[in-house]
Structure 1
Protein backbone atom coordinates (compact mmCIF):
# COMPACT_ATOMS: atom_id res chain seq x y z
CA UNK A 1 0.00 0.00 0.00
CA UNK A 2 1.24 3.47 -0.83
CA UNK A 3 2.48 5.53 2.11
CA UNK A 4 2.54 9.29 1.68
CA UNK A 5 4.18 9.86 5.02
CA UNK A 6 6.57 7.78 7.05
CA UNK A 7 7.17 8.69 10.68
CA UNK A 8 10.65 8.95 12.24
CA UNK A 9 11.41 6.28 14.92
CA UNK A 10 13.04 7.49 18.00
CA UNK A 11 10.46 10.39 18.57
CA UNK A 12 8.80 9.97 21.91
CA UNK A 13 5.15 9.08 21.35
CA UNK A 14 2.55 11.06 23.24
CA UNK A 15 -0.12 9.06 25.06
CA UNK A 16 -3.34 8.94 23.05
CA UNK A 17 -6.74 6.96 22.99
CA UNK A 18 -8.79 5.35 19.96
CA UNK A 19 -11.84 5.24 17.61
CA UNK A 20 -13.73 3.37 14.91
CA UNK A 21 -12.01 2.70 11.55
CA UNK A 22 -13.70 5.82 10.15
CA UNK A 23 -14.75 9.01 11.83
CA UNK A 24 -15.84 12.34 10.37
CA UNK A 25 -16.08 15.42 12.55
CA UNK A 26 -17.99 18.64 11.92
CA UNK A 27 -17.86 20.96 14.89
CA UNK A 28 -20.18 23.88 15.68
CA UNK A 29 -18.90 27.24 14.49
CA UNK A 30 -17.00 29.23 17.09
CA UNK A 31 -17.58 32.96 17.71
CA UNK A 32 -15.14 33.78 14.90
CA UNK A 33 -17.21 31.66 12.52
CA UNK A 34 -14.78 28.74 12.05
CA UNK A 35 -16.40 25.33 11.69
CA UNK A 36 -14.05 22.33 11.67
CA UNK A 37 -14.71 19.72 9.01
CA UNK A 38 -12.27 16.81 8.89
CA UNK A 39 -12.08 13.03 8.82
CA UNK A 40 -9.84 10.27 10.14
CA UNK A 41 -10.12 6.89 8.40
CA UNK A 42 -8.24 3.69 9.21
CA UNK A 43 -7.65 1.05 6.58
CA UNK A 44 -9.88 -1.84 7.79
CA UNK A 45 -7.42 -4.42 6.41
CA UNK A 46 -4.30 -2.68 7.76
CA UNK A 47 -5.28 -0.45 10.64
CA UNK A 48 -1.77 0.94 11.09
CA UNK A 49 -2.51 3.02 7.99
CA UNK A 50 -4.68 6.10 8.59
CA UNK A 51 -5.98 8.64 6.08
CA UNK A 52 -6.31 12.18 7.41
CA UNK A 53 -8.40 14.70 5.49
CA UNK A 54 -9.09 18.36 6.28
CA UNK A 55 -12.15 19.93 4.64
CA UNK A 56 -12.23 23.08 6.75
CA UNK A 57 -12.40 26.11 4.48
CA UNK A 58 -9.75 28.85 4.32
CA UNK A 59 -7.42 27.43 6.96
CA UNK A 60 -3.97 25.90 7.24
CA UNK A 61 -4.39 22.36 8.64
CA UNK A 62 -2.00 20.74 11.09
CA UNK A 63 -2.04 17.09 12.15
CA UNK A 64 -0.18 15.55 15.08
CA UNK A 65 -0.50 11.77 15.16
CA UNK A 66 2.07 11.14 17.88
CA UNK A 67 4.77 9.69 15.66
CA UNK A 68 4.94 12.63 13.28
CA UNK A 69 3.10 15.67 11.97
CA UNK A 70 1.65 16.88 8.68
CA UNK A 71 0.44 20.19 7.24
CA UNK A 72 -1.28 18.66 4.21
CA UNK A 73 -5.00 18.72 3.57
CA UNK A 74 -4.92 15.00 2.91
CA UNK A 75 -2.26 12.65 4.18
CA UNK A 76 -1.80 8.92 4.64
CA UNK A 77 0.23 8.16 7.77
CA UNK A 78 1.46 5.09 9.60
CA UNK A 79 0.75 4.37 13.27
CA UNK A 80 3.58 1.91 13.98
CA UNK A 81 2.59 0.60 17.41
CA UNK A 82 -0.38 -1.27 18.83
CA UNK A 83 -2.57 0.62 21.29
CA UNK A 84 -5.01 3.48 21.67
CA UNK A 85 -3.93 6.90 20.43
CA UNK A 86 -5.38 10.36 19.83
CA UNK A 87 -4.83 11.99 16.43
CA UNK A 88 -4.90 15.77 16.94
CA UNK A 89 -6.21 18.16 14.30
CA UNK A 90 -5.75 21.94 14.30
CA UNK A 91 -7.03 24.50 11.79
CA UNK A 92 -5.26 27.86 11.66
CA UNK A 93 -7.50 30.63 10.36
CA UNK A 94 -7.79 34.40 10.67
CA UNK A 95 -9.35 34.06 14.13
CA UNK A 96 -6.54 31.83 15.42
CA UNK A 97 -6.35 28.04 15.75
CA UNK A 98 -9.24 25.74 16.53
CA UNK A 99 -8.49 22.14 17.56
CA UNK A 100 -10.10 18.75 17.96
CA UNK A 101 -8.93 15.13 18.22
CA UNK A 102 -10.05 11.65 17.27
CA UNK A 103 -9.20 8.41 19.02
CA UNK A 104 -7.91 5.43 17.02
CA UNK A 105 -7.17 1.86 18.03
CA UNK A 106 -4.28 0.02 16.38
CA UNK A 107 -4.49 -3.75 16.76
CA UNK A 108 -0.81 -4.72 16.37
CA UNK A 109 2.67 -3.36 15.79
CA UNK A 110 3.08 -2.58 12.10
CA UNK A 111 4.11 -5.89 10.48
CA UNK A 112 5.50 -4.10 7.43
CA UNK A 113 7.67 -1.52 9.17
CA UNK A 114 9.02 -4.01 11.70
CA UNK A 115 9.61 -6.74 9.12
CA UNK A 116 13.40 -6.67 9.64
CA UNK A 117 14.49 -9.51 11.93
CA UNK A 118 16.83 -7.08 13.70
CA UNK A 119 13.89 -5.56 15.58
CA UNK A 120 12.81 -8.89 17.03
CA UNK A 121 16.36 -9.99 17.82
CA UNK A 122 17.03 -6.73 19.65
CA UNK A 123 13.73 -6.27 21.47
CA UNK A 124 11.63 -9.45 21.48
CA UNK A 125 8.80 -7.16 20.39
CA UNK A 126 6.56 -5.50 22.95
CA UNK A 127 7.67 -7.94 25.66
CA UNK A 128 11.22 -6.64 25.59
CA UNK A 129 14.68 -8.17 25.94
CA UNK A 130 17.31 -7.41 28.58
CA UNK A 131 21.01 -7.29 27.72
CA UNK A 132 24.00 -7.49 30.10
CA UNK A 133 27.77 -7.58 29.72
CA UNK A 134 29.07 -10.81 28.14
CA UNK A 135 31.59 -11.39 30.92
CA UNK A 136 31.73 -15.15 30.26
CA UNK A 137 32.49 -14.79 26.54
CA UNK A 138 35.45 -17.03 25.56
CA UNK A 139 38.58 -15.16 26.55
CA UNK A 140 36.75 -13.17 29.22
CA UNK A 141 37.17 -9.74 27.61
CA UNK A 142 33.95 -8.00 26.57
CA UNK A 143 35.00 -4.36 26.21
CA UNK A 144 38.03 -2.73 24.62
CA UNK A 145 39.47 -2.07 21.19
CA UNK A 146 41.46 -3.58 18.42
CA UNK A 147 42.22 -3.44 14.68
CA UNK A 148 39.61 -2.13 12.27
CA UNK A 149 38.36 -5.64 11.50
CA UNK A 150 38.50 -7.05 15.04
CA UNK A 151 35.45 -8.94 16.32
CA UNK A 152 36.59 -8.83 19.97
CA UNK A 153 38.93 -6.68 22.09
CA UNK A 154 42.56 -7.24 21.11
CA UNK A 155 44.65 -4.23 22.18
CA UNK A 156 42.93 -2.73 25.22
CA UNK A 157 41.00 -5.56 26.91
CA UNK A 158 38.55 -5.36 29.79
CA UNK A 159 36.63 -8.04 31.66
CA UNK A 160 34.92 -8.53 35.01
CA UNK A 161 37.58 -6.84 37.16
CA UNK A 162 37.64 -3.59 35.19
CA UNK A 163 33.87 -3.49 34.73
CA UNK A 164 33.48 -3.82 38.49
CA UNK A 165 36.07 -1.07 39.04
CA UNK A 166 34.15 1.24 36.70
CA UNK A 167 30.87 0.44 38.48
CA UNK A 168 29.15 -0.92 35.36
CA UNK A 169 29.43 -4.69 35.86
CA UNK A 170 25.79 -5.08 36.91
CA UNK A 171 24.30 -2.68 34.36
CA UNK A 172 21.23 -3.95 32.51
CA UNK A 173 19.80 -2.58 29.26
CA UNK A 174 16.29 -3.31 28.04
CA UNK A 175 14.89 -2.75 24.54
CA UNK A 176 11.20 -3.15 23.67
CA UNK A 177 8.54 -2.09 21.15
CA UNK A 178 5.73 -1.38 23.61
CA UNK A 179 4.07 1.74 22.09
CA UNK A 180 7.48 3.13 21.14
CA UNK A 181 11.08 2.13 20.45
CA UNK A 182 11.90 1.99 24.15
CA UNK A 183 15.32 1.73 25.76
CA UNK A 184 16.16 1.73 29.45
CA UNK A 185 19.38 1.25 31.35
CA UNK A 186 19.61 0.30 35.01
CA UNK A 187 22.85 1.50 36.60
CA UNK A 188 23.54 1.58 40.32
CA UNK A 189 19.92 0.69 41.06
CA UNK A 190 18.59 3.65 39.06
CA UNK A 191 16.72 3.11 35.78
CA UNK A 192 16.90 5.73 33.04
CA UNK A 193 14.30 5.53 30.27
CA UNK A 194 14.94 6.66 26.70
CA UNK A 195 14.29 5.59 23.10
CA UNK A 196 16.36 4.15 20.28
CA UNK A 197 16.63 4.54 16.53
CA UNK A 198 17.50 1.41 14.56
CA UNK A 199 18.88 1.74 11.03
CA UNK A 200 18.19 -1.72 9.66
CA UNK A 201 19.70 -0.99 6.24
CA UNK A 202 23.12 0.07 7.55
CA UNK A 203 22.83 -1.95 10.79
CA UNK A 204 23.37 0.94 13.18
CA UNK A 205 21.73 1.93 16.44
CA UNK A 206 21.47 5.24 18.28
CA UNK A 207 20.21 5.70 21.83
CA UNK A 208 18.19 8.90 22.29
CA UNK A 209 18.27 10.42 25.76
CA UNK A 210 20.66 7.93 27.37
CA UNK A 211 23.49 5.59 26.35
CA UNK A 212 24.61 1.98 26.51
CA UNK A 213 26.71 0.82 29.47
CA UNK A 214 30.17 2.48 29.46
CA UNK A 215 29.19 4.01 26.12
CA UNK A 216 30.56 6.85 24.01
CA UNK A 217 27.28 8.65 23.11
CA UNK A 218 27.60 7.82 19.44
CA UNK A 219 25.72 5.92 16.75
CA UNK A 220 26.98 2.35 17.10
CA UNK A 221 27.57 -0.11 14.28
CA UNK A 222 26.00 -3.51 14.92
CA UNK A 223 28.72 -6.11 14.34
CA UNK A 224 26.71 -9.07 15.67
CA UNK A 225 23.09 -9.45 16.72
CA UNK A 226 21.46 -12.82 17.23
CA UNK A 227 19.09 -14.32 19.78
CA UNK A 228 21.74 -14.31 22.52
CA UNK A 229 24.62 -12.02 21.53
CA UNK A 230 25.02 -8.36 20.63
CA UNK A 231 28.34 -6.80 19.66
CA UNK A 232 28.47 -3.06 19.01
CA UNK A 233 31.44 -1.14 17.65
CA UNK A 234 32.70 2.38 17.14
CA UNK A 235 34.47 2.22 13.80
CA UNK A 236 37.63 4.25 13.36
CA UNK A 237 40.32 4.47 10.68
CA UNK A 238 42.16 1.18 11.20
CA UNK A 239 40.73 0.62 14.68
CA UNK A 240 37.45 0.01 16.46
CA UNK A 241 36.11 0.10 20.01
CA UNK A 242 34.10 -2.99 20.87
CA UNK A 243 31.23 -3.65 23.32
CA UNK A 244 30.07 -7.25 23.78
CA UNK A 245 26.71 -7.97 25.45
CA UNK A 246 24.54 -11.05 25.90
CA UNK A 247 20.90 -11.78 26.60
CA UNK A 248 20.32 -11.84 30.35
CA UNK A 249 20.23 -15.47 31.44
CA UNK A 250 22.30 -16.76 28.52
CA UNK A 251 25.50 -18.66 29.39
CA UNK A 252 28.33 -19.18 26.89
Structure 2
Protein backbone atom coordinates (compact mmCIF):
# COMPACT_ATOMS: atom_id res chain seq x y z
CA UNK A 1 0.00 0.00 0.00
CA UNK A 2 1.46 3.31 -1.03
CA UNK A 3 1.56 6.09 1.54
CA UNK A 4 1.80 9.84 1.17
CA UNK A 5 2.72 12.04 4.14
CA UNK A 6 1.07 15.47 4.07
CA UNK A 7 2.69 18.30 6.07
CA UNK A 8 0.53 21.31 7.03
CA UNK A 9 0.84 23.86 9.88
CA UNK A 10 3.70 21.92 11.34
CA UNK A 11 1.71 18.66 11.69
CA UNK A 12 1.96 15.36 9.82
CA UNK A 13 -0.98 13.25 8.69
CA UNK A 14 -0.29 9.73 7.36
CA UNK A 15 -3.03 8.88 4.93
CA UNK A 16 -4.22 5.75 3.10
CA UNK A 17 -6.19 5.04 -0.06
CA UNK A 18 -9.80 4.34 0.95
CA UNK A 19 -12.09 6.15 -1.43
CA UNK A 20 -15.04 5.85 -3.77
CA UNK A 21 -15.51 7.78 -7.05
CA UNK A 22 -16.46 11.45 -6.68
CA UNK A 23 -15.75 12.86 -10.11
CA UNK A 24 -14.03 11.56 -13.22
CA UNK A 25 -13.34 14.14 -15.88
CA UNK A 26 -12.21 13.73 -19.49
CA UNK A 27 -11.75 16.82 -21.65
CA UNK A 28 -11.53 17.03 -25.45
CA UNK A 29 -8.03 17.01 -26.87
CA UNK A 30 -6.56 20.45 -27.51
CA UNK A 31 -4.43 21.37 -30.55
CA UNK A 32 -1.33 20.10 -28.72
CA UNK A 33 -2.97 16.71 -28.41
CA UNK A 34 -3.47 16.66 -24.63
CA UNK A 35 -6.75 15.07 -23.55
CA UNK A 36 -7.12 15.46 -19.79
CA UNK A 37 -8.28 12.36 -17.95
CA UNK A 38 -8.30 12.57 -14.16
CA UNK A 39 -10.42 11.88 -11.09
CA UNK A 40 -11.02 13.60 -7.76
CA UNK A 41 -12.53 11.36 -5.07
CA UNK A 42 -13.69 12.20 -1.56
CA UNK A 43 -13.81 9.45 1.04
CA UNK A 44 -17.41 8.61 2.07
CA UNK A 45 -17.95 9.57 5.70
CA UNK A 46 -14.67 11.50 5.82
CA UNK A 47 -14.85 14.03 3.03
CA UNK A 48 -11.75 15.91 4.23
CA UNK A 49 -9.74 13.11 2.64
CA UNK A 50 -9.43 13.32 -1.14
CA UNK A 51 -7.80 10.97 -3.64
CA UNK A 52 -6.30 12.61 -6.71
CA UNK A 53 -5.56 10.44 -9.74
CA UNK A 54 -4.08 11.49 -13.06
CA UNK A 55 -4.93 9.15 -15.95
CA UNK A 56 -3.74 11.44 -18.75
CA UNK A 57 -1.23 9.70 -20.97
CA UNK A 58 2.35 10.86 -21.55
CA UNK A 59 2.26 13.95 -19.32
CA UNK A 60 3.72 15.17 -16.03
CA UNK A 61 0.83 15.79 -13.62
CA UNK A 62 0.66 18.66 -11.15
CA UNK A 63 -2.03 19.16 -8.49
CA UNK A 64 -2.76 22.29 -6.44
CA UNK A 65 -5.34 21.54 -3.75
CA UNK A 66 -5.12 24.86 -1.91
CA UNK A 67 -3.24 23.62 1.13
CA UNK A 68 -0.35 22.13 -0.81
CA UNK A 69 0.76 20.70 -4.14
CA UNK A 70 1.90 17.33 -5.46
CA UNK A 71 3.34 15.94 -8.68
CA UNK A 72 2.28 12.38 -7.93
CA UNK A 73 0.04 10.65 -10.45
CA UNK A 74 -2.00 9.35 -7.52
CA UNK A 75 -2.07 10.95 -4.10
CA UNK A 76 -4.24 11.16 -1.01
CA UNK A 77 -4.46 14.63 0.53
CA UNK A 78 -6.30 16.28 3.41
CA UNK A 79 -8.47 19.40 3.15
CA UNK A 80 -8.55 20.34 6.86
CA UNK A 81 -11.28 22.99 6.73
CA UNK A 82 -14.99 23.04 6.01
CA UNK A 83 -16.12 24.89 2.90
CA UNK A 84 -15.97 24.87 -0.88
CA UNK A 85 -12.55 24.46 -2.48
CA UNK A 86 -11.20 24.12 -6.01
CA UNK A 87 -8.66 21.42 -6.81
CA UNK A 88 -6.57 22.40 -9.83
CA UNK A 89 -5.11 19.75 -12.12
CA UNK A 90 -2.45 20.48 -14.74
CA UNK A 91 -0.90 18.12 -17.28
CA UNK A 92 2.45 19.11 -18.76
CA UNK A 93 3.13 17.67 -22.20
CA UNK A 94 5.25 18.50 -25.23
CA UNK A 95 2.82 21.23 -26.26
CA UNK A 96 2.74 22.89 -22.85
CA UNK A 97 0.37 22.54 -19.89
CA UNK A 98 -3.35 22.00 -20.01
CA UNK A 99 -5.36 22.77 -16.87
CA UNK A 100 -8.77 22.04 -15.38
CA UNK A 101 -10.25 22.23 -11.90
CA UNK A 102 -12.90 20.52 -9.78
CA UNK A 103 -14.93 22.06 -6.97
CA UNK A 104 -15.31 19.98 -3.81
CA UNK A 105 -17.34 20.65 -0.67
CA UNK A 106 -16.00 19.69 2.75
CA UNK A 107 -18.70 19.35 5.41
CA UNK A 108 -16.71 20.06 8.60
CA UNK A 109 -13.28 20.92 9.95
CA UNK A 110 -11.28 17.72 10.10
CA UNK A 111 -11.79 16.21 13.59
CA UNK A 112 -8.62 14.14 13.18
CA UNK A 113 -6.42 17.00 12.01
CA UNK A 114 -7.65 19.30 14.79
CA UNK A 115 -7.83 16.64 17.50
CA UNK A 116 -5.52 18.56 19.85
CA UNK A 117 -7.37 20.56 22.49
CA UNK A 118 -4.95 23.45 21.86
CA UNK A 119 -6.72 24.33 18.61
CA UNK A 120 -10.10 24.85 20.23
CA UNK A 121 -8.68 26.69 23.24
CA UNK A 122 -6.81 29.09 20.98
CA UNK A 123 -9.44 29.64 18.28
CA UNK A 124 -12.89 28.45 19.35
CA UNK A 125 -12.95 26.74 15.96
CA UNK A 126 -14.41 28.54 12.96
CA UNK A 127 -16.16 31.08 15.20
CA UNK A 128 -12.86 32.51 16.40
CA UNK A 129 -11.57 33.81 19.73
CA UNK A 130 -10.23 37.30 20.47
CA UNK A 131 -7.33 37.88 22.86
CA UNK A 132 -6.31 41.16 24.55
CA UNK A 133 -3.60 42.17 27.00
CA UNK A 134 -4.11 40.71 30.49
CA UNK A 135 -3.73 44.09 32.18
CA UNK A 136 -5.67 42.97 35.28
CA UNK A 137 -3.58 39.85 35.85
CA UNK A 138 -2.52 39.47 39.51
CA UNK A 139 0.60 41.58 39.92
CA UNK A 140 -0.43 43.93 37.11
CA UNK A 141 2.41 43.13 34.69
CA UNK A 142 1.56 41.44 31.39
CA UNK A 143 4.75 42.06 29.39
CA UNK A 144 8.44 41.92 30.16
CA UNK A 145 11.18 39.38 30.74
CA UNK A 146 12.69 37.17 33.37
CA UNK A 147 14.74 34.03 33.99
CA UNK A 148 14.49 31.07 31.62
CA UNK A 149 11.71 29.38 33.61
CA UNK A 150 9.69 32.47 34.47
CA UNK A 151 5.88 32.31 34.10
CA UNK A 152 5.46 36.08 34.54
CA UNK A 153 7.64 39.15 34.01
CA UNK A 154 10.29 39.48 36.71
CA UNK A 155 13.23 41.63 35.55
CA UNK A 156 11.72 44.18 33.20
CA UNK A 157 8.00 44.56 33.87
CA UNK A 158 5.35 46.41 31.87
CA UNK A 159 1.73 47.06 32.78
CA UNK A 160 -1.09 49.28 31.56
CA UNK A 161 0.90 52.53 31.53
CA UNK A 162 3.76 51.06 29.54
CA UNK A 163 1.43 49.47 26.99
CA UNK A 164 -0.37 52.77 26.58
CA UNK A 165 2.95 54.55 25.99
CA UNK A 166 3.78 52.02 23.25
CA UNK A 167 0.37 52.47 21.62
CA UNK A 168 -0.56 48.78 21.95
CA UNK A 169 -2.86 48.81 24.98
CA UNK A 170 -6.04 48.40 22.92
CA UNK A 171 -4.70 45.84 20.46
CA UNK A 172 -6.92 42.82 19.78
CA UNK A 173 -5.80 39.51 18.25
CA UNK A 174 -8.24 36.98 16.80
CA UNK A 175 -7.50 33.37 15.88
CA UNK A 176 -10.02 31.26 13.93
CA UNK A 177 -10.28 28.13 11.79
CA UNK A 178 -12.71 29.48 9.19
CA UNK A 179 -11.49 27.91 5.91
CA UNK A 180 -7.90 28.45 7.04
CA UNK A 181 -5.78 28.96 10.15
CA UNK A 182 -6.46 32.69 10.34
CA UNK A 183 -4.82 35.35 12.50
CA UNK A 184 -6.02 38.96 12.65
CA UNK A 185 -4.66 41.84 14.69
CA UNK A 186 -6.43 45.15 15.25
CA UNK A 187 -3.91 47.90 16.03
CA UNK A 188 -4.81 51.62 16.17
CA UNK A 189 -7.92 50.99 14.10
CA UNK A 190 -6.04 49.12 11.38
CA UNK A 191 -6.71 45.41 10.79
CA UNK A 192 -3.88 43.20 9.56
CA UNK A 193 -4.65 39.67 8.45
CA UNK A 194 -2.27 36.72 8.45
CA UNK A 195 -2.21 33.06 9.32
CA UNK A 196 -0.73 30.88 12.01
CA UNK A 197 1.02 27.55 12.29
CA UNK A 198 0.43 25.70 15.54
CA UNK A 199 2.89 23.01 16.62
CA UNK A 200 0.83 21.02 19.11
CA UNK A 201 3.64 18.61 19.99
CA UNK A 202 6.11 21.30 21.05
CA UNK A 203 3.45 23.84 22.07
CA UNK A 204 4.72 26.57 19.77
CA UNK A 205 3.11 29.01 17.36
CA UNK A 206 4.36 31.00 14.37
CA UNK A 207 2.42 33.92 12.92
CA UNK A 208 2.75 34.49 9.17
CA UNK A 209 2.00 37.79 7.45
CA UNK A 210 1.53 39.64 10.75
CA UNK A 211 2.65 39.38 14.39
CA UNK A 212 1.27 39.41 17.91
CA UNK A 213 0.90 42.71 19.75
CA UNK A 214 4.34 44.24 20.46
CA UNK A 215 5.87 41.04 19.10
CA UNK A 216 9.36 40.13 17.96
CA UNK A 217 8.46 38.16 14.80
CA UNK A 218 9.69 34.86 16.20
CA UNK A 219 8.24 31.44 16.87
CA UNK A 220 6.63 31.72 20.30
CA UNK A 221 6.42 28.98 22.90
CA UNK A 222 3.07 28.55 24.62
CA UNK A 223 3.53 28.11 28.38
CA UNK A 224 -0.11 28.67 29.33
CA UNK A 225 -3.27 28.19 27.28
CA UNK A 226 -6.67 27.62 28.77
CA UNK A 227 -10.13 28.96 28.01
CA UNK A 228 -9.26 32.40 29.40
CA UNK A 229 -5.46 32.82 29.43
CA UNK A 230 -2.71 32.75 26.81
CA UNK A 231 0.94 33.23 27.80
CA UNK A 232 3.56 33.28 25.05
CA UNK A 233 7.33 33.42 25.49
CA UNK A 234 10.40 34.01 23.40
CA UNK A 235 12.84 31.53 24.90
CA UNK A 236 16.48 32.49 25.28
CA UNK A 237 19.50 30.95 27.01
CA UNK A 238 18.68 31.51 30.66
CA UNK A 239 16.07 34.18 29.92
CA UNK A 240 12.73 34.63 28.26
CA UNK A 241 10.45 37.43 27.09
CA UNK A 242 6.82 37.02 28.13
CA UNK A 243 3.46 38.18 26.71
CA UNK A 244 0.37 37.63 28.88
CA UNK A 245 -3.00 37.80 27.12
CA UNK A 246 -6.54 36.99 28.15
CA UNK A 247 -9.80 36.20 26.38
CA UNK A 248 -11.62 39.43 25.54
CA UNK A 249 -14.34 39.91 28.15
CA UNK A 250 -12.63 37.82 30.83
CA UNK A 251 -11.92 39.49 34.19
CA UNK A 252 -9.40 38.09 36.66
| Structure 1 length-normalised TM | 0.94
In the alignment, the residues of structure 1 paired with residue 33 and residue 207 of structure 2 have an alpha-carbon distance, to the nearest angstrom, of 46
Q: What does residue 42 of structure 2 align with? A: 42
Q: Is the 8 A contact 2:9 2:199 kept in 1?
A: no
Runs of 4+ in structure 1 deviating by more than 3 angstroms, as ranges, are: none
Could you tell me which runs of 5 or more consecutive residues in structure 2 were left unpaired when the two chains were aligned.
Answer: 11-19
Q: Is this contact kept in 2: 1:81–1:178, CA < 8 A?
A: yes
Aligned residues: 242
When normalised by structure 2's length, the TM-score is 0.94
Retained in 1: the 8 A contact 2:130–2:173? yes
Task: Give the Å deviation of 1:45.
Answer: 1.4
CA contact (8 A) 1:7 1:67 kept: no
The 3-state SS of whatever aligns with 1:114 is: coil
Q: Tell me, yes or no, if the aligned pair for 2:181 and 2:196 is still in contact at 8 Å.
A: yes
Query: Is the contact made by 1:5 and 1:75 (CA closer than 8 Å) also made in structure 2?
Result: no
Question: Once superposed, what is the RMSD of the aligned Cα atoms?
Answer: 1.3
CA contact (8 A) 2:63 2:87 kept: yes
**Matches for 1:109-188 after TM superposition, within 5 Å:** 109-188=109-188
Per the alignment, residue 98 of structure 1 pairs with 98
CA shift, 1:236, in A, is 0.9
Q: Which has the higher contact order (CA 8 A, sep 6+)?
A: 1
SS where residue 8 of structure 2 aligns? coil
Q: CA deviation at 1:9?
A: 2.6
CA, structure 1 residues 50+3, in 2 after alignment: closer, same or farther (shift >3 Å)?
farther
CA contact (8 A) 1:7 1:77 kept: no
Q: Matches of residues 181-196 of structure 1 in structure 2 within 5 Å?
A: 181-196=181-196
How far off its partner does 1:21 sit?
A: 6.4
* Equivalent residue number for residue 17 of structure 1: none
